[in-house]
Structure 1
């Protein structure tokens, strides 16, 4: 039989357990409530953020919808790519206009017309101490002042003396040429050094400068001891306007000299084979090349090889190209006859 004290202890123990259970339930409920409030708050913040992002996207894209689908997003990306391409094309068009290219529509809607292409640009290769030769040429066939300008306007032929710079920059030689040019205004002064061994390089840079400065059908090289019949030259050049790549002159070949003491010594003689014979090329007194060939020289001038003689150098530049070599007897300047283009003096 249990005592009353034992019954009381059992009774008190059961009541305490029930009390602790109620406390645990209350604490759990409080935590659940707090968790529910936190989660709800986060969801509300995220909902607000989504609404803001959707409105911002609508504002930037101008779609006017509450959301942007994948297909619509791809269209937007494609439009941006097209805009980039259009911008690049507009830049290329602006650059082309600066270079002188004009569309047919522009020509039809504008009163201005493209300037007529010149027939020829003639470069007379000269050097220091040759003023008497230059003055004789001015009096004989080149003209000067207003007469030179008239030659350009009426016959579409530009004539200029071609010279480089002194090795001692801005010395008396450079000043004399500058003073002469201030009176005659008929020089092309290249930024290359004036030296006998640099003549071939000088010719190369003349053609490059001329085609970059004037738009002509032909570019002509002449020595400053040659007299030119401008009318005969113009007629010969005009007869070959239909040929795109023309190299015209008094064509020759000849022996390659390997002896250093010879007047026509070629240091690179071994490159011309065992027979030591030059390839076909125009005499250096006067020859003409068409615009396409002058452009070729301008583009490739850093890598075009030069030899000891400028006429050989010029001929070498056109080997391997689809060029029409015109052997024109009227360009042989050893004698003056009816219809001759030139005469040596």
Structure 2
């Protein structure tokens, strides 16, 4: 009896099972449409919110098209190639490749990149110092041109204009430069001893804009410089795009106006009254990227009482490689030194 009853119930159970399967399938389909609809609606809401946020913050469109994406990928690919080529060039230069250089006598933009530009800071009434440099390490005429073309080093005296434009000071410099052709005259700078930091800033900015070089050096006009040794030293830093080289020091910040190295803004250096790490002002070198940074930002780069502290302050906050080079400490002459007092 039980077996027969079970046999009669089997078709009914099978029917109910099929109906359940169909209903489950319909429910799954409806759930899929519901979920997809919600996802699409959420996506639309997110796009709207992003656009609204961009509109209010002024950041522009945050989503880019497929074409724009492909352009970005292509640009990144080309950038990688450029970086690889720059690394190969740096390696070749490190192996001794220099090439031939050519430049204009008045410091206008060069056809090929120089190794270094050396700016000798001078002033009115210091012709005897300039003549001492010309007799010791700075050649003239064809030899000066040869230094630029064969060694890639351009050397110029740096001077501003008189507060009384066109007076005897200006005329004397113009007359001297007429024969020596070894000046860069900063027409937008008024020559004054208290303006040396601004003069240094203007020099780096002007040089970066008008002379294409790997390095830019600032030198005082009472120093002897070994240009061969300088070139050899700089060749070891080809692979450092943002390098700041000099005789690094810190030192005390003097807060009394009667002191020789008085700093009016002494309070900005904290209770310890100690300067940050910076290169001595007798001679320092910066790379092309740093000179360009100074050129671009010169209107907002502040200066302190001393030019070496000012340059050091511009390096703070940048990804800069500080190189403490003892050969630039310009003490009495020693073997291997790059600079020394005249």
1:309 matched to 2:279: no
**2:213 alignment partner in structure 1:** 216
Gaps in structure 1 of 5+ consecutive residues: 1-113
Taking the aligned partners of 2:148 and 2:157, their CA distance within structure 1 comes to 15
Taking the aligned partners of 2:218 and 2:176, their CA distance within structure 1 comes to 21
Superposed displacement of residue 335, structure 1: 2.2
Superposed displacement of residue 195, structure 1: 0.5
**2:326 alignment partner in structure 1:** 329
The structure number with the bigger radius of gyration is: 1
Gaps in structure 2 of 5+ consecutive residues: 1-109
Q: Pick from 166, 177, 180: which aligns with 2:176?
A: 180
- Equivalent residue runs for 1:39-118 within 5 Å: 115-118=111-114
TM-score (norm 2): 0.67
Taking the aligned partners of 1:339 and 1:117, their CA distance within structure 2 comes to 27
Taking the aligned partners of 2:258 and 2:215, their CA distance within structure 1 comes to 37
**1:132 alignment partner in structure 2:** 128
Number of residue pairs matched? 232
1:229 matched to 2:231: no
Superposed displacement of residue 151, structure 1: 0.4
Superposed displacement of residue 118, structure 1: 0.5
Q: Which runs of 4+ in 1 moved over 2 A?
A: none
For residue 336 of structure 2, give the secondary structure of its aligned residue in structure 1: coil
1:160 matched to 2:151: no
Superposed displacement of residue 116, structure 1: 3.1
Superposed displacement of residue 117, structure 1: 1.4
1:146 matched to 2:145: no
TM-score (norm 1): 0.67
Superposed displacement of residue 336, structure 1: 1.3
Superposed displacement of residue 115, structure 1: 3.9
**1:70 alignment partner in structure 2:** none
Taking the aligned partners of 2:307 and 2:112, their CA distance within structure 1 comes to 31
1:252 matched to 2:243: no
Taking the aligned partners of 2:211 and 2:141, their CA distance within structure 1 comes to 19
